Amino acid sequence: MRTAVCIMDAAGIRQCLEDLAAQVAAKAPAAGKLAVIGIQRRGVFLASRLAALLEKKLGQAVPQGALDINLYRDDWTTLGQQPVVGRTDLNFDVRGMNLLLVDDVLFTGRTIRAALEALTDFGRPNKVELLALIDRGHRELPIQPDYAGLTLKTERSERVDVMLRELDGGDEAVLRKS
C-alpha cells in the first residue's frame, strides 16, 4: 500500500517560485540575454510562472520556451511503447543567450542530459543554468541544479509527484512511499 505525504502545498509552491525568481534575478545577465525554457510537461508551466515573476523583478521581457526531450532520452528504445512526442517551442534564438532550464523534479539527471542534448540542435547558448522545483537526489550523472526550491532526501523506491493547476487542477507536491 502506498502512502502519500504532502511536501509542498499551493502556498509553498508559490513562495518557492518567488524565492527562486529572486535568486535568479540577483544573478541575471545584461538586459535581453536571459530566457527561460521549461522541460515538457510540468517544467513548461513552472517556466511560464518564473518568467512572469522575473519580468516583474527585472522590468523587462523574458523570453520563454518549451522543450520536449522524449526523442533524446537514453531509454526510449527500451520502453514498451513509442514515446509520446510533445511540443518544442523556442520562438527565439538561443545562440548567445543565458538559458534557465526548468524542471519540476530532479532525480537521476537523465532528463537534464537529454534536454542539454536537445538544446544543442538549436544553437550554442552562452550559458545554461538548471532550476528544479524539487531536487530528490540519486544522481546517475554529474548534474546538479544551480537553483533548487526544495532539496529532499528520498529513497529510490519513493516517488515525488508535482501537480500543477494547469494540468492537474491544483498545486501540490507529494512524496509517495511504497
pLDDT tens track for 130-147? 999 999 999 999 999 999
Quick one: what percent of the chain has pLDDT higher than 70? 90
Count CB atoms within 10 A of the CB of residue 131.
25
Quote the CA–CA distance of 69 and 115 in Å, as a whole number: 6
Domain ranges of the chain: 3-177
* Fold adopted by 3-177: Rossmann fold (3.40.50)
Peptide bond into 41 cis (omega under 30): yes
Look at residue 76 and tell me whether its pLDDT is greater than 60: no
Q: What is the DSSP string of 83-151?
A: ------B--S--TT-EEEEEEEEESSSHHHHHHHHHHHTT---SEEEEEEEEE----SSS---SEEEEE
pLDDT-based confidence at residue 80 (cuts at 50, 70, 90): low
Q: What pLDDT is attached to residue 109?
A: 95
Burial of 95 (0-12, 13-18, 19+ CB in 10 A): exposed
Look at residue 78 and tell me whether its pLDDT is greater than 60: no
- What are the Cα distances from residue 48, in Å, to 3, 65, 81? 31, 8, 30
Place of cell 534564438: 93
Average pLDDT over the chain reads 91
pTM of the predicted protein model? 0.92
Q: What pLDDT is attached to residue 5?
A: 95
Helix (H) or strand (E) holding 174: strand 172-177
Q: What pLDDT is attached to residue 101?
A: 98
Look at residue 29 and tell me whether its pLDDT is greater than 60: yes
